[in-house]
Structure formats: structure tokens, C-alpha cells
Amino acid sequence: MQDEMVRLDFEQSRRLLESSKKVIPGGVNSNVRMGEQPHPIFFESAEGPYLFDADGNRLIDYVMGQGPMLLGHRPDFVLEAVEHQLSQGILYGGQHELEVEAARLITRMVPSAEMVRFNMTGTEAVQAALRIARASTGRHLVVKFEGHYHGWADSVLFNVGSGSVPGAEGLGMAAVPESAGMAPEAGSSLTVAPWNDADALDEVLASVGDSVAAVIMEPVMANSGVIEPAPGYLEAVRDLCDRHGIVLIFDEVITGFRAGLGGAQGRYGVTPDLTTMGKALASGFPVGCVTGRREIMEIVSTGTVTHAGTFNASPISMAAARAALEHLYLGGSELYDMLEERGHRLMQGLRGVIDSHGAPCLVQGLPTVFNLMFTDMGAVRDHREVLMTDKARRAAFQSHLAAAGVRISGLGNLFLSSAHTEEVIDSTVERFDRALRSFLSG
């Protein structure tokens, strides 16, 4: 293990990346990973709150698989469940009790969950939710919000990291595609609105509400600054959807089981009609789901709505999901109180370091997922303000942070896990201090 005061080097990872680029575009299999600083790192193993890379470095991990590892890397009870299932079978192409047990756990924990359909990813879950909403309402339009990410499919990949044009011609905002190669007509059934502005949504729905099948949002804007909803905002959106007969969808792929046992909807006390979940659902195994009110979900059972997938509810993933969900369910308030306490400890520790250096940095969000931004603003309230922060400077700082042995996401998010002990958190604060001092000294 390296001396904790040594500046880490990632030369072997750099060589592996260059070799990888010969057979994998960009050397990575998700564009999100290209934002890693100082460059994408190659890892060999993980345990608890730590990652071990190809250079023999140990890093305190706050990427945690981009959020899924709420219980830390390689929790014993999840591994045992998966190992047992491996001895029974990998894929049946049919039903098994594990999927029923996992679904029942979700219905006990998530306020909106009366019925559940499993798939593999959050992107798939969102597409299923939109299809169900359209089928149940007989309408076609979807309202999404700028800065909110709902997966990489053409139908929703608009106005995520880019700027929107306020007051664009027509309703809402100009739909800005986030990728080349998207179908030109992909945004034709989409209206984009500013988030955290109930009056703006009211204005949009007053004009097109009768054609809107669904309003979809991250109840906490976790993909852009980790911004909480303004007081009363979620309630206002719920009321507007009820008034216009619109299906309200919460995309809780990040906040599900991370913002609390019942997700963000449990934390803020507002229940959507449909919810999409993933990430922490199965402690790192590929599982997503769409869940919601029985009267809406049952349309899938009629056969008029197609929802399919060879690997949906695979026994291995369901074994992991049941073990992870059962642990969260039994841990209950005691587990989540501990997570909140440790998250606050980390946030306050980082803020103390920032204040001591007089650095233009902001730490903002929930205790279990928060964001680091370079800005003089005291708070970031919407996507427009996120765009005003200095992302290039944050990326440069992340190289210093990695060299000090702390890894955070390219978007600036820090994901906490139950494996981040007080000792690990205090070590993180010390390393953050060293990295920030090095960065500011130029």
C-alpha cells in the first residue's frame, strides 16, 4: 500500500488506456467515463469504500459505480446470495420466486409502488414508463425539464448538459439534442420546461395539457448540481398533473433508496403515479424497474403494451436485488440515520476546508449524494446556474484530488456508502485539504 502522503501516479492506467483505444472507441464503454481526471483509470479490485487500480494505488471511492454501491463494494450478504444462485442457474427464460420477493420488497418501501416490472437499466425503465403513460392516457406529449437526465435514448436525451433558449418560439423551450446521430423527429413529442418553476409548468400545461401523457422529472436534480426541489414545488406539480389528467413520473434511478428508504418521494412526501429505479436497487448488479399505481401498471398485462427483455429479472440480478433490498428494509431508520449523519460529517468537513482556504467552491446536495462546484454563488438553484459554474476548474482540481487518493465523479458528484466510516471520512477531508492547497498554489 502506498504512503498516504505520496502523490499518486496513474502511468500504468494511461498506458492501458492508450492500448484500449485501439479496440474500444475512446478507450471506454460509456462516454461518462471519459470525464475522469487526470484520465480514465483502470481498476483491478474494490472493497468497502476503496478502489484498487492498475498502478497499485488505493483510492477512497465516491463514484461508487456512479451511485449503485450504496452498501459499499462487495458486501458479503449480496455476494453470498449471488454465489448461491450461480449454483442453481444463471438464466431460465422463465419465472422464479426471487423476482416476486424483490418486487414485494419494493412495494413495501416505495410509496408509489403497487406493481413492479423489472428490466436491466434505468434507460430501459424510463422508456417503459413513457410507453405505459402514453398507453394509459391515449396522449402523446411528454414534458421534461432542462438539466434532467433520463438515459441516453433519443426520446429523452434533450437539454441535459447544454443550455436552453428561454422563451423559444412555441411552448416551453427549444429542445436541444445532446448527441449527434439522434433522429430528427425524436423531439417532436417532447416539451422542455424549466425545473423548480411551478408557474412555468402551469403556463405550459394551460396550453397543451390535454395532449400531455406524462410529466417526467428527477425529484432531486441529481445529474446537474444535486439541486433539491423548492419548498412546495413537488406538491404543485402533483396538483397540476391531477388537474390535467397527466401521469407524473419520478425518475429515481439515482435517488431511489439513496435519498431514503422510500426514495425522494418518501423524503419529500409527494407520490408520483410511476417511478423508475435502478442503481442502488441491486448493489451494482444490472437491474432497473418501473413501478407505480396498479390501475396504470396493469395495462402491461393486457398485452396491448409491449415490455420485454431476455435478461429482465434474471435470477442472478434478482438474487442481488433481494439481498440488497432486504438489508435496506431491515436496516430501516437506523441505517439511514447513520448514512445521513456521516454524509453531513463529510459535507461539513469539506466546507470547513474550503472556508479555511477562501476557495470559490460550493458543496451542495443530500448527505448521500452531493456535488462539488467551483463558483462564488452561495447556492445553485437551477440548471442555468449550474452552467455558470467553472467546470474546467473543477476538472483540473479533480486531478489533484485523485493524486491525493480520492475519486469523485466527472460531474462533481460524491456518492456516499455505508462502508464510508467516520475514519474514512476524516481521511477524505485531510486529503481534500492537501489537494486543494496544492491546486490553489498552482
CB neighbourhood size of 93 (10 A)? 7
Residues present in the chain in total: 442
- Which of 130, 139, 125 is CA-nearest to residue 309? 125
What is the reported pLDDT for 171? 60
Helical H segments across 222-365, by residue range: 233-244, 263-268, 294-297, 315-357
φ, ψ for residue 36, nearest 5 deg: -65, 140
Contacts of 151 (CB under 8 A, 6+ apart): 121, 122, 123, 124, 126, 127, 157
Cell 442503481 -> residue: 279
φ, ψ for residue 396, nearest 5 deg: -65, -40
What is the reported pLDDT for 2? 45
- Which of 211, 176, 217 is CA-nearest to residue 196? 217
For the chain, give percent helix, strand, coil, nearest 5. Answer: 45, 15, 40
CA dist 435 and 398 (Å) reads 9
Q: Give the distance from CA 92 to its chain's centroid.
A: 30
My answer on whether omega of the bond before 25 falls inside 30° of 0, hence cis, is: no
CA dist 114 and 20 (Å) reads 45
Task: Supply the DSSP symbol for 247.
Answer: E
Helical H segments across 138-209, by residue range: 198-208
Q: What angle do CA 269, 273, 276 make, to 5 degrees?
A: 90
Cell numbers at residue 259, please? 435519498
What is the reported pLDDT for 162? 78
Determine contact, residues 178/146, Cβ cutoff 8 Å.
no
3-state SS class at 291? strand
**Residues designated catalytic:** 149, 251, 279
Which positions of the chain have pLDDT values less than 50? 1-3, 167-170
What is the reported pLDDT for 166? 56
Straight-line distance from the first to the last Cα atom of the chain, in angstroms, rounded to the nearest whole number: 28
Determine contact, residues 374/306, Cβ cutoff 8 Å.
no
3-state SS class at 193? strand
Determine contact, residues 55/10, Cβ cutoff 8 Å.
yes
Cell numbers at residue 376, please? 462564488
Determine contact, residues 320/282, Cβ cutoff 8 Å.
yes
3-state SS class at 14? helix
* pTM (2 d.p.): 0.96
- Which of 287, 275, 291, 274 is CA-nearest to residue 323? 287
Cell numbers at residue 83, please? 454465489
- Which of 105, 33, 87 is CA-nearest to residue 280? 105
CA quadruple 415, 421, 424, 425: dihedral positive or negative? positive
Determine contact, residues 109/262, Cβ cutoff 8 Å.
yes
Determine contact, residues 188/350, Cβ cutoff 8 Å.
no
What is the reported pLDDT for 5? 61
3-state SS class at 287? coil
